[in-house]
Structures are given as C-alpha cells and as structure tokens.
A and B are shown apart, each in its own frame.
Chain A
Amino acid sequence: MKLYVYIIRRLILLIPVIIGVTLITFYLSHVNIGMLIATYEGKIHTAARREEVIISLHLNGPIYEQYLYYLTNLFTGKWGYLSPGEPFDAGTPVFVEFQRRFPPTAELAIIATGLVLLMGIPLGVLSAIKKDKVVDQITRLIAMAAVSIPVFWLGLIIIIALGPNSPIPVPLRITAEGQLDWAKYAFTSTGALQPWVFSASGGLSRPTGFLLIDTLYYHDYPAFLDALKHVFWPAFTVAVTSFGVIIRFLRSSMLEVLGQDYIRTARSKGVPESFVIKKHARRNALGATTTIMGLFFAGLLSGVVITENVFGWPGMGTWLFDAAENSDLGSVIATTFVFTIVIVVANLVVDILYSYLDPRVRLD
C-alpha cells in the first residue's frame, strides 16, 4: 500500500471516532438540561431568553434532532457563553475564550514534549547499552520514581526550592473600585507589568498567542526572558513526570533490537560500535517507541492540566478548573472536546509517522 493510500484510509477511519467523541460530549452536555440552558443564555436571564434558547437548541424535539443541532453548533463555533459565575469575562463566548486559552497550553505541551525527548532518549539508550551496570540501575530508578511522583507535588517542591521569587503570576484580585480585576494574570512574581501572559488584554494584538513567539515578534526581549522563565518550570515538571514511560519502553525495545541478527552482522563486519548504536539500533528502537506515543501524549496532557493550575499558567487546564468551580458547563465540555480531539489527531499523526518509518505496518 502506498503511503498516501494509507493516509486516506486512516482519515476515513477517523470519521467514526469523531462521531463517537461528539456522542459522548453530546450526552455529557445534555444530561443536565438546566446547566445546558444556563450555558447558552449568556448574561440575560429572563423567561423569554430561556424560551429562545430552548427553541434554538431544539430541546423540545426528538433526541436525534437535538444531536444534529448540537453538531451544527459545535462545528460552527457556537459553544455557548461563559457563565455569570465566572469572576471575570462573564458572557464571553466560549469559543473566543478557547482561542485565548489554547495557545498557552499548546506552547507548554510542545516544550514539555521537547524536554521529554531531550532527556528521555539519551537516558533510555544509555540504560540499554549499559544493561545491569550502575548507570542502568540509576536510570531505571529515576524512571521508576518519575512515574510515581504526583505531578502537582513535584511542581510545589520546585516552587519551594525556587523560593518566594518563583515565576508564578500572583493573583491580583481587587481593583480600586472594588471590582474583580480582568488582568488576573497580568502581574508576575517580580511585580512587573506583564501584559503578555493574558492574551487580548492590555490592548495588544497577539499574532500567534504563543508567549515566546509573540514577545520576540514585538522585540520585547526582557519579556521574552521572563516568559521563558515562566514556561520552563511547568514544562520541566510535566516532562519529568512523563519521561519515565519513554525511558522504560525505549530501554526494552532497544534491548530487543540489540539482540537481532542484523546487529550481530553489522558488528562482525567491523562497523564501529557508536555507528551500530546510532544508525542501526537506535533508529529502529525509536520507530517502535512511536507506537506508545499516543498513550504517552494523553498522559502528558493530563499532567499539563494539573501543572497549569499549580503554576497559574493561563491555559486550558486552569480554565477547566476555574470553570468547574463556577459550574460553567460550556467551558468544561469545550475543554473535554478539545483535549480529546487533540489526542485523536496526535494518534493519527503518530500512526502515519510510524507507517512512514516502518513500511511493514502498511502491508495488511
């Protein structure tokens, strides 16, 4: 099978999965009708408005009709409004809030994945090469401890270690008028105004929403360094708690590859050992490791959700828990949907990547 045929086949297989995901979010959002109506009412709470919402969502109609209208709303970006319980931004469309919250989470997840690969691959390979030596024992212990540490606890321990100047946006709760401040995340631990952290505030247009890229785009280097400090520690926390899985899997697949005949052949014809490890063994072991990347990524995103709350990073995870605290159904369902779709897409990309690296999987 050609690669593009395989990709098309995988894309067709994606359709039932996405229908399944929407069925789950449909069930979750429609099981508590009162909360659902409150989500779509926005700021106005009158009987007439309520009636309007019921008609627009076709809540009086049969269940399949409700589902069809739910799908239409979902794919046209009508995800409801933030509930009035939210301390700020009440009445903002959920979709707008999602566009603000998604880039920071993506940024954190990408940097964390980079750190995992940077730390995990060398350790896994080293552990397999030095099997049963001291290095191997230490690495296995690190991997074991890494999967056992509570993510939030590691974050808190890092905060304790960094001391009172830890890079955490200090909540600024009350303005002079006694109102809750919109710029909850606008101040950093250093006390300097940091309009970058919370998008669409301070009248700045954000070309990408990614903190590190936007600060560079505006040539604001002090803000870039500050942003780097803010993103590094949460990313490090997530990376340390997720790389154990990679180390362990890479070690075992590396050991398996090293026992293969072609490795013996390569060694016996005099290929230098470092070349055998890099070109023959590691490349194949990494190919096998891509198969667990989907599950790994789901775990990593769970870690991101928790870590964001610890470090006050203004992404989807912080949003999820703020919304849940305020019974904001629209935001919670939106986060569930977005995270699930992200993982589904990540799985797809990993499968295609694997079929590119190892064409044997395309045979069946």
Chain B
Amino acid sequence: MQSDIRDSIRARINSFLKSLYFLTRSPISTAGLIIVIAYVILAIVGPIIVGGNPTIMKQYVNYIPGVGYIFNNPQPPSVRFPLGTTFEGFDIYNGIMKGARLDIEVAALVVLSGATIGVILGSIAGFKGGVLGDVIMRVTDIFLSIPFIVLAVAFLLIFGRTLQSLVEALIIVWWPLYTRLVRGQVLVVRELQYVEASKAAGSSSFRTVLLHVIPNSIYPIFVQISLDFGNVILTIASLDFLGFGFAGPNLAEWGNIIGLATKGASGVLAITRYPWTVAIPGLVILIFVLGLNLLGDGIRDVTDPRLRR
C-alpha cells in the first residue's frame, strides 16, 4: 500500500510538472501565476519590511497640549506617506503591506477545509450513492441556498466577532460547492474501466476511492480552489468594508482600509474629495483576485486534455 501510494504520488508530480510547463506557455496564465507568487511573497515579507504589529495599521496622530489627540483628514500620497493616509490618520501603505498575510491565511484555511470536507462527502455521495448519498446532496442543496455574506453576518453576531467564527462561517458556506463538484466527478470516474479493474483485483472500496477515484477527479477541484480563493478574499474584504468584520477599525485588512474612508463625519460622499483612500486599496484587491482567476482559468485549460496541444 505504501509503495502504491508513493508510485501514485510520483506519477501525479510528473503530470503536475508537465502541466506547469504548459501553463507557462500561455502569457495570460503566466501573468496570473506571477501575480499570485508576488502576493504570496508580499504576505511573507510585507509585515517584516514595515515592521510593527503585523495585524494593526500604523496610525499618525497629532498631539496638541490642552486639546488632546487630533486625527487628521486624509493626506494625499507624499514622500512621508507613499500611498497617502485615510481617516483618523491610518497609513495606507502600512495597511496594504500587512493586509496580504491575514487575507491569504484566512482564505487558505477556508478553501482547503471546504475542499477537504467536500472531497470526503462528495466521494461518499458519488461512490456509495443510495440513501446516504441522497441525504448528503439534499443537505448540500440547503446550504447552497444561503447567501454567504448573510450567513457570515449571522454567525459573527451570534458567536462573537472573532477570527474563529468568521472562518467557521465561511467554511460552512463553502463546503457544499466542493461536495457537489466532487460528486459529479466521482460519478463519471466510477464508471471507468480502471476502477472496475481495481474492484476486480479485490481492493476495498476505501482503497479504490483513495488510489484511483480521488486522484483522477482532483483537477477540477484545483481549478475551483484557485477561483474560490479570490471569492473568499472578496467576502472578507466586503465584511470588513461594511464594518462587520472580526476586529476593530485598526485591523490591517484591505477591505477595512476602504471602509475607513466612508466612515468620516460626512459619510460616503467624502470619498469624492479623497479618491486615493478608496482607489489604491481596491486596486490591490482587484489585481490579486484577477491574478487568481487568470491562474484558475490557466489550470483549467492545461488540465483539459482536449485543449492541450
């Protein structure tokens, strides 16, 4: 069994390297790959470069004796503040450099947990079928009907606004997609001849699923993961933008930086006077999600043998 798994893994790695070669032949996919790698590097070194607490934005305040602390209006980009500041004196450059780490950590946790649950439940539902399979799929349908942003808000309100409840809420919304996807894949793969051969050779269902069914239905899951990564990041940013994320106003998170700009005394319309407080952090999110989507599309193209020439 051990050597079987090793062989199986070695074959996958070879095919992965081959896919990577095909991926880098398309300029658009390469661009996606470079963007994603750049953001991962930013997540690792960003907080180290700017220093300080990696989850809290640096705030510049003026202290006037007898008056107290004065929070400045947003400052345009300058030598002192490379990307300007937003309301209450938060430095945008500082926040952007620190924000990547948190977003990538949360998104990875959510997507990988969701995919794991989805692979397990999906292969049970697809391979075994029967009443259990039907029950799993009906539950999946129910969870797919809840808009993720609404469930996340309900969860954060009921279980407290912590990082843990945010991650739990997002996992609860994300596993059904994978379950449905994996079940569809398994239903196709299950009928193929090598699965039949494996059964005929006397291997157990568990072994057949682990060694033959899951590895051969895994590529669409990779595509889904790379596309969903961006969606999770957009969801976290939206929650923080609307002021119902998991921490206070000084959290170094891209959506939160944009949100700060709309929470001045004059409401949303203040941003027409300070456009950089919105435009710059938004572009940072947009480019990252675009990179992830380009990469996901690229992976789909190279793993579809009909398109690989």
Residues of B near A347 (CB, < 8 A) are 145
Contact of B267 among A20, A153, A171 (CB under 8 A): A171
B268 and A312 contacting across the interface, CB-CB below 8 Å: yes
Mark each residue of chain A from 24 to 50: 1 if its CB lies under 8 Å from any CB of chain B, else 0: 100010011001000000000000000
Mark each residue of chain B from 153 to 179: 1 if its CB lies under 8 Å from any CB of chain A, else 0: 111111100000000000000000000
Say if the beta carbon of B77 comes within 8 Å of chain A: no
Say if the beta carbon of B112 comes within 8 Å of chain A: no
Docked pose: A159 CA to B149 CA in angstroms: 23
Contact of B146 among A31, A32, A35, A339 (CB under 8 A): A339
B151 and A336 contacting across the interface, CB-CB below 8 Å: yes
Known: A164-B269, A189-B269, A306-B242. 15 other contacts (CB 8 A): A17-B145, A21-B145, A35-B157, A144-B293, A150-B282, A160-B278, A163-B272, A164-B272, A298-B145, A305-B149, A306-B149, A324-B153, A340-B147, A343-B145, A344-B145
Residues of A near B148 (CB, < 8 A) are 302
- Name the residue on A nearest B153 (C-beta): A324
From residue 120 to 156 of chain B, which have CB atoms closer than 8 A to chain A? Answer: 138-139, 141-142, 144-151, 153-156
Q: How large is the interface on A (under 10, 10 to 19, 20 to 34, 35 or more residues)?
A: 35 or more
B153 and A321 contacting across the interface, CB-CB below 8 Å: yes
A168 and B279 contacting across the interface, CB-CB below 8 Å: no
22 A-B Cβ contacts within 8 A?
A16-B138, A17-B145, A24-B146, A32-B158, A35-B157, A144-B297, A145-B286, A148-B230, A152-B238, A152-B241, A152-B255, A156-B258, A159-B268, A160-B275, A166-B272, A168-B267, A294-B144, A301-B147, A324-B157, A324-B244, A339-B150, A340-B145
Q: Which residues of A contact B (CB under 8 A)?
A: 16-17, 20-21, 24, 28, 31-32, 35, 144-145, 147-153, 156-157, 159-160, 163-164, 166, 168, 170-171, 189, 294-295, 298, 301-302, 305-306, 309-310, 312, 320-321, 324-325, 327, 329, 332-333, 335-336, 339-340, 343-344, 347
Say if the beta carbon of B299 comes within 8 Å of chain A: no
B145 and A35 contacting across the interface, CB-CB below 8 Å: no
Say if the beta carbon of B83 comes within 8 Å of chain A: no
Docked pose: A16 CA to B243 CA in angstroms: 35
Docked pose: A194 CA to B178 CA in angstroms: 46
Docked pose: A321 CA to B157 CA in angstroms: 10
B290 and A148 contacting across the interface, CB-CB below 8 Å: yes
B238 and A151 contacting across the interface, CB-CB below 8 Å: yes
Say if the beta carbon of B289 comes within 8 Å of chain A: yes
- A interface majority secondary structure: helix
B286 and A149 contacting across the interface, CB-CB below 8 Å: yes
Docked pose: A203 CA to B242 CA in angstroms: 32
Contact of A150 among B151, B156, B157, B237 (CB under 8 A): B237
Residues of B near A298 (CB, < 8 A) are 144-145, 147
Known: A156-B262, A329-B157. Contact between A336 and B146, CB under 8 A? yes
- Which of A148, A168, A298, A344 has most B Cβ within 10 Å? A148
A321 and B230 contacting across the interface, CB-CB below 8 Å: no
Say if the beta carbon of B234 comes within 8 Å of chain A: yes
Say if the beta carbon of B214 comes within 8 Å of chain A: no
- B interface majority secondary structure: helix
Docked pose: A184 CA to B151 CA in angstroms: 27
Say if the beta carbon of B285 comes within 8 Å of chain A: yes
Interface size on B, residues (CB 8 A): 48
Docked pose: A306 CA to B153 CA in angstroms: 12
- Name the residue on B nearest A295 (C-beta): B144
Residues of B near A144 (CB, < 8 A) are 290, 293-294, 297
Q: Which residues of B contact A (CB under 8 A)?
A: 138-139, 141-142, 144-151, 153-159, 230, 234, 237-238, 241-244, 255, 258, 261-262, 267-269, 271-272, 275, 278-279, 282, 285-286, 289-290, 292-294, 297
Distance to closest chain A CB from B157 (angstroms): 5
Docked pose: A13 CA to B285 CA in angstroms: 41
A20 and B142 contacting across the interface, CB-CB below 8 Å: yes
Distance to closest chain B CB from A342 (angstroms): 9
B286 and A153 contacting across the interface, CB-CB below 8 Å: yes
A150 and B138 contacting across the interface, CB-CB below 8 Å: no
Residues of B near A20 (CB, < 8 A) are 138-139, 142
Docked pose: A166 CA to B147 CA in angstroms: 28
Docked pose: A325 CA to B243 CA in angstroms: 8
Distance to closest chain A CB from B57 (angstroms): 18
Docked pose: A28 CA to B155 CA in angstroms: 8
Distance to closest chain A CB from B20 (angstroms): 21
- Name the residue on A nearest B292 (C-beta): A148
- Name the residue on B nearest A301 (C-beta): B147
Residues of B near A332 (CB, < 8 A) are 153-154, 157
Question: Which 3 residue pairs across A and B have the least CB separation, nearest first?
Answer: A153-B282, A20-B142, A148-B289
A153 and B285 contacting across the interface, CB-CB below 8 Å: yes
Docked pose: A339 CA to B146 CA in angstroms: 7
Residues of A near B153 (CB, < 8 A) are 320-321, 324, 332
B150 and A153 contacting across the interface, CB-CB below 8 Å: no
Known: A16-B138, A306-B238. Contact between A159 and B150, CB under 8 A? no
B282 and A156 contacting across the interface, CB-CB below 8 Å: yes
Docked pose: A355 CA to B202 CA in angstroms: 42
A31 and B269 contacting across the interface, CB-CB below 8 Å: no
